[in-house]
Structure formats: C-alpha cells, structure tokens
Amino acid sequence: MATRLPPLNALKAFEATARHLSVKKAAAELNVTPAAVSHQIKALEDYLGVQVFRRRNRALELTEAARACLPKLREGFDSLAQAVERLRAHKSGSTLMVSVAPSFAARWLMPRLHRFLDSHPDVDVRISARLRQSSAGARKGAAAERATVDAWLADSDVAILYGRGDYPGFRVDKLIALSITPICSPRLVTHPQHPLLRPADLKHHLLLHDDTGELYDGVSFWDVWLKAAGVEGVDLRRGPHFSHAVLAFEAAVEGYGVVATMPVLAETDLHAARLVTPFALRVPLASAYYLVCSEEAAARPAVAAFRDWLMGEAARESDEA
C-alpha cells in the first residue's frame, strides 16, 4: 500500500523556511503571506506529530528530526522538477532520451553522433550512460536483462544494450552482431623477446580481462576465444579485470597486456594503429547490441529518426567490415 504523504504545499513551506530560516523570506519566495507559511508549517507538524522548528528570540532553528529529513526532501523536490521538465520536453516531441551501455556510448556512439546532430538540429538529444541493473539476489541472464530494459526505459525513449534481445512487449532491433578476438598494442606484436606470432605466444604476455562476457553471459571472453583457437597452457588467472571494455582498451593502448574483447568497440584505435588484432580468428558471440523501445515511443518522430539513423550507421559499418 502506498504511503500517504503530507500535503505538498506544507512540504514546500517547510523546505523554503528551512532554507532561509525565515518565515518572511519563505513567504516572499512562495508568493503567499507569512501567516499562510506559518499555518502550513503548523499543519505539517500536526500531521507528522514532530516539531520541525524551534523558535528562539525571533530566530528559527531546525530540530534534529528536520535536519535529518531535509536532504531527502530536497532530493525529492529536485526529482519532481526533473520529471516535470521531461513532461514539458515530451510535449513538443523534439527531446530524445537515450540510455546506453557506457563502453558502447564512449567507443561507438560518440564518434558518430555528430552526424545525427548535424542532420537533426531540432532534436534535443540527451545521452545517459547507464549501468546494468543488479540486485541483492544477483540476477543474471534473462532476468537481469529484462530488469535493465525496464529500468532504462522507465525514463528514456530508447535503450542500447548488450544482451540476447529477448524483450517481449518492446520493439527490438538487432543493431550489431558481435565477435571477440585478442587486441593489443602493436609494440607487443613486435616484442623483442616474445613477439605475438601465434596464439600459443599469449602464455608469455599479461592477459587483460574485459569482464563483459563473464558478468552478462557467465563465461569469460578469454575462455571462449582460447577454446575456439585450440590453445592450452595459458594461465587465465593472471592479469587485471575490468568491468567495462573501455577500461580494458585504455590498458591495452598503454601496452600493459592483451585483451580478448569486441573489436567493434576498438575501431578508432585500430584505424589509428594504436591497437592491433594480432590473430585472424574472430569468434562470434551469442549476445549482440540491441536497440530497444516501446511501440508508443517508436511512433514519435524524434525516436523514429534516431532509429533510422542508428540502423543505417550499423549497416554501413557491417558493409565496410
């Protein structure tokens, strides 16, 4: 059952008075009389059964109870203001709220987004890099994916995420099929003592672990690739682990070691020769990047334009690969 809240006007009067420590200044801000503010505060204290101010020689002082609740109350008002702003933005239909996985946002979407902004200057794009939903029960697999989709689309128009794409009730477009391969600095390929010429040479190098596969699919990318390559004797216990591919790429660029991950997210560094793929074998993944939205959102012009542009970008990359 929902908790019954005090009247909003009483909460507003309390917050304004607490901020100014003055009934008169709070009244001026709220465009009411000081008597009205005092009445609202008295009504709030009666409703809660808790005193919120002490009156000392014409000065106001917050009680311990009031000081304890004030930060959360201000946070609540901020959230209400943001929600109202989003309603106003959606009224015009020109605001586009996009929730996206952090590594995909940094490594794939950002280098291309300028093309959408240039061709759609009337769309107010708002990008939110989001973390996957988790819980005390450590949900994984389909349950975690569904929780993520529900959470991201609760306050966004579209979501772009890594997963299996089984999201009933939503419009789902497969954006990019994925594969993995070892990636490293070119300095390691020509290492004077241990050049990376064959997969077996990996045993001489530090392994960097992009934990995307282990966290979301339950199996590490190194396990998947080494098994497909038929390589044994490589110690997978060695090397640092990274929760996001973008962090593993930074370590690889610095020449710390070799990471098994998705080359689609390393295109900029690969083209600039800051990173290389030393072996030809690329192993397909069951997961992919998907564009997800509700059917209602899909009908909005801004969402439809973004979807068409995004699918076109992905198709062009596939044709050029």
Q: How confident is the model over 29-48, as pLDDT tens digits? A: 988 998 988 899 888 888 88
The full set of domain ranges for the chain reads 8-91, 93-175+287-320, 178-286
Taking each helix axis from N to C end, the angle separating 34-48 and 23-30, rounded to the nearest 10 degrees, works out to 100
Q: What is the DSSP pairing of strand 258-261 with strand 207-210?
A: parallel
Cα separation, 132 vs 9, whole angstroms: 37
CB 183 within 8 A of CB 266: yes
CATH 3.40.50.970 fits 178-286, yes or no: no
Token digits for 142?
């389909």
Backbone phi and psi for residue 282, each to the nearest 5 degrees, phi listed first: -120, 125
Percent of the chain with pLDDT over 90: 58
Fold of 93-175+287-320: D-Maltodextrin-Binding Protein; domain 2 (3.40.190)
Task: Report whether pLDDT(138) > 90.
Answer: no
Q: Does the fold of domain 93-175+287-320 match that of domain 8-91?
A: no
Q: What residues contact residue 317 under an 8 Å CB cut-off, 6+ apart?
A: 176, 264, 267
Q: What is the pLDDT of residues 91-116, one digit of tens each?
A: 445 889 999 999 999 999 999 999 99
Fold of 8-91: Arc Repressor Mutant, subunit A (1.10.10)
